[in-house]
Chain A
């Protein structure tokens, strides 16, 4: 087991010519010190830092666009965000999954203005330029008025993402041609994605995502997803309803894992002898499938735990939870996929999908869906209180006094890593799932990306 490589920037030998310097003279690497558990409040809601994130984080990362099951047929299309840019995710006539900037090559008008479609052509409403569903420009309006060489149609297809990759049906893309491939970027995270998105065969996303805007800085949401010890306090109302155990340590029986490139995750066990929180909350009849579809160590993890969350850096999350639909129901497993995309330094768009095993029995599928809607997403009796926290963290982070202070991310700073025999998976694993090891690793990668020169990735790429 190796220590995850999460450079904190301090080891760089090149002076970055002000690249990491803020207007008050401070450097990012001085005010964000993940290895000490100190994260400046300045980086959350400050427009100056957000401005830097636009190119450094969102101009060149890998971003989740959707799942293959959302576009099963040729011509199927959904409108999404790729980083901060509007994107079209489409399966073309040949069945190839493609993604493009949702913008006409002529005047930049959005060519797709609905949320989901099945199309062979996309016609721009502005001047009638029409694109095939593989992105090629089929015709431009008033073509006969272009002189020779003025309209090179074969060079004027929709702008494709620089790279697109699919793992376990999850479609990611990046605008950075120099980025590592998705396979390299995910690395050991694939081993854990297998457990969540491949445990019984294929997973499918059901319908469309719930989408809503929250007045919070995006990283307050990001920070929350692998945080276990907020559950007892933030979701205290559910403790009072008997929907969560009434002791503070209840979500601490598990492991947290940090991986290269800032990917993070945890697996948490339910109470001993609680059958509902075994096997990721899936019905017993599905448990034997783990051994058919997973390696031994993966199946062991799936069988043993009831809860898991993980982040593919920076903003793709899974939540695998076991929860009850109401005070009279028994807990069932739920698979929830989340993405948060900043709209500004202090406003964030949330995406939340319900996903389920294709082989799930119909009754479980219905119960799991109802339980998802009642617990998660904007109306969820879990999620509601998280949004309240993220908003009020943001309110208190915008002032000049707050920005001079750090947040406290020190839990587990001296935690010993798990013995190899104790944890069968790759990465750096820590016992006790109450700890801020995962957040520190996430901010380590954030600092790494924010202090790595752009090398032209933000410069013009088409004539």
Chain B
């Protein structure tokens, strides 16, 4: 399972987004809620409004866009590095599914600029197929920042 997450990170860091789609289930829900600063009693501040609200078709649209060479936000491409740590897995709600939490640190540089930094936790649901490989059924990206310091989100988490 950890190796699966590492292999996924390698695809994202080497601009192999088409291959990355192969790691996603066709019924995937991929979401990054907007976070707000709240007092502890009110929870972690995640809101219904999101930075990403995606299904498989919309993620594939994003990937196709990056492949056009006219997506200026990634043309020329950013360099990203996905550091995935603190992986914890529990049995999921359905047979063959697992709740997998991991911490991420994603660095992004582009052009001659310095680093943009994104950190947070991913809450995934992974499904194991009969063939034994995993697919990502659900990914909830819990970003630490309330105000993103990256100029845009043309990368994946």
Contact = CB atoms under 8 A, between A and B. Distances in A.
A210 B60 CA distance: 23
Given A115-B37, A212-B148, A378-B153, A354 B49 contact: yes
Interface in A189-246: 206-216, 234, 236-241, 243
B85 interface: no
Interface in A236-268: 236-241, 243
Interface stretch (B10-18, B67-75, B128-136): B67-75
Contacts of B48: 206-207
A208 B34 contact: yes
Interface string B128-149: 0000000000000000001111
A349 interface: yes
Contacts of B72: 234, 236-237, 384-385, 388-389
B19 interface: no
Interface string A379-399: 101011101110110010000
Contacts of A236: 68, 70, 72
B53 A373 contact: yes
A373 B61 CA distance: 13
Interface size of A as a range? 35 or more
Contacts of A206: 48-49
A274 B131 CA distance: 47
Contacts of A234: 72
Contacts of A326: 55, 57-58, 60-61
Given A369-B53, A381-B62, A388-B73, A114 B36 contact: yes
A289 interface: no
B151 interface: yes
B50 A212 contact: no
B73 A385 contact: yes
Contacts of A241: 61, 64-65, 68
B52 interface: yes
B17 to A, nearest CB: 13
Contact of A207 (B34, B66, B146, B151): B34
8 contacts: A115-B38, A115-B45, A210-B49, A213-B147, A234-B72, A328-B57, A373-B51, A379-B52
Given A208-B34, A237-B70, 5 more contacts: A236-B68, A236-B72, A328-B57, A384-B71, A385-B71
The 4 nearest A-B residue pairs measured at CB: A207-B49, A384-B73, A379-B153, A212-B148
